[in-house]
Structure 1
Amino acid sequence: MTTATLPAAAPSPRAIATRRRDAPDFSVRPAHRDEGPELAALSWPFVRAGALRERPLSLYLSRASDFLVAQAPDGSLEGCLALREHSAAGVLYNFCVAGHRQGTGMGARLLHAAFAAARARSMATLFTATTGSGRLFLRHGFVPTSPSLAPTAWARSLDPERNAHVLSRAL
């Protein structure tokens, strides 16, 4: 997972400032079981750019309940973040925000919703892996950590070819 951005027409600073002051024009909610195809489609540009690992549609379908989504007023999904429980720890994965929504606070809202969901499930720590800078995670309290401190099954699933950095945050 990465916090890399995709090339897109950047909104004007005034538009961003206006969006942040006003009520957001999106909602954050748990994904529905049948939204696997939409999750896969939202993730595909990040896979193509090398920011996310490719995952089969069957994974999005079987793990839709892991996902929080940011939904636009028209019903389209413009962001997602998955939270998977591993004992007392959680793993965040498949974090993406559509290019035209980056810089609007959508990623931060998804991340805060994931923190709330993890706390509600009594998770003590969250882990994630990124091939990018991880700026958003670092701004929200994550710190670099050793993969050996992460849930074993998840740490073993990391692709060493991707050279991902593991980050953690206590809740």
Structure 2
Amino acid sequence: MITATPRPSATPAHLRDASLVDPLRVRRAGPGDAAALVALSEPFVRAGALRRRPFDVYAARAADFLVAEEPGGLLHGCLALRVHPDAEPGAAAAGVLYNFCVARQRQGSGLGARLLGAALTGARAQSLAALFTATTGSGRLFLRHGFAPVPQGLAPRAWARTLDPRRGARVLARAL
């Protein structure tokens, strides 16, 4: 007897849109999300991809974060956007993206692109001139979304001073 494993039927094109089949919703975080942000970030901290931040920082800066949440409340991703006003009067402010995490089981699902897209939309709504980020990884997702490597000196000074040169992070930027 020969047995065959049934093949899944092809997904119709109208159902391939992630927003139609993905139950996760992207929303702004609140102070009550601080513990979940810490938990989501911890594997990335252990791997050396993120700097450790205390719970108090997550609670105080919760409004910086966009989170991807399943209907039951579990967070599967986060990305923070912090605005850095320019020191020169009349100049446009820049934003910094930080603490970008997508849970291991959701990596490769397009969730990172959804979070980054939502952050770009938010940055445009705030009339930011540019976005910066630092990455110790490949930065492929950022590069696919129009970011490019730039000298650290072009980034907001207050943020650039916090970068640890021992981590070897590359600074990427995108004009808006």
Which bin holds the TM-score, normalised by the shorter protein? 0.7 to 0.9
Deviations 1:44-97 (A, max 9, x none): 000001110111111001000000000012211110000000011000000000
Larger RCO: 1 or 2 (CA < 8 Å, sep 6+): 1
TM normalised by structure 1 equals: 0.87
Amino acid at match of 2:27: R
TM normalised by structure 2 equals: 0.85
Identity of aligned residues (%): 63
Give the equivalent residue in structure 2 for 1:6.
none
Which residue of 25, 44, 47 maps to 2:45? 47
Q: After the TM superposition, which segments of 4 or more aligned residues of structure 1 sit over 3 Å from their partners?
A: 17-22
Amino acid at match of 1:90: G
Shift of 1:33: 1.8
- Where does the alignment leave 5 or more consecutive residues of structure 2 unmatched? 1-7, 86-92
Deviations 1:87-122 (A, max 9, x none): 110000000000000011100000010011111111
Is the counterpart of residue 30 in structure 1 residue 35 in structure 2?
A: no
| CA separation of 1:20 and 1:74: change in aligned 2, threshold 3 A | farther
Which residue of 145, 163, 174 maps to 1:169? 174
Which residue of 120, 124, 129 maps to 2:125? 120
Preserved CA contact (<8 Å) 1:129 1:166: yes
Deviations 1:114-152 (A, max 9, x none): 011111111010000000100000011000001100000
Which residue of 94, 110, 115 maps to 1:110? 115
Is the counterpart of residue 100 in structure 1 residue 105 in structure 2?
A: yes
Is the counterpart of residue 134 in structure 1 residue 164 in structure 2?
A: no
Which residue of 67, 70, 79 maps to 1:69? 67
Give the root-mean-square deviation of aligned CA atoms.
1.5
Distance in 2, matches of 1:136 and 1:34, equals: 29
- Where does the alignment leave 5 or more consecutive residues of structure 1 unmatched? 1-13
Preserved CA contact (<8 Å) 1:69 1:80: yes
* DSSP-derived class of the 1:55 partner: coil
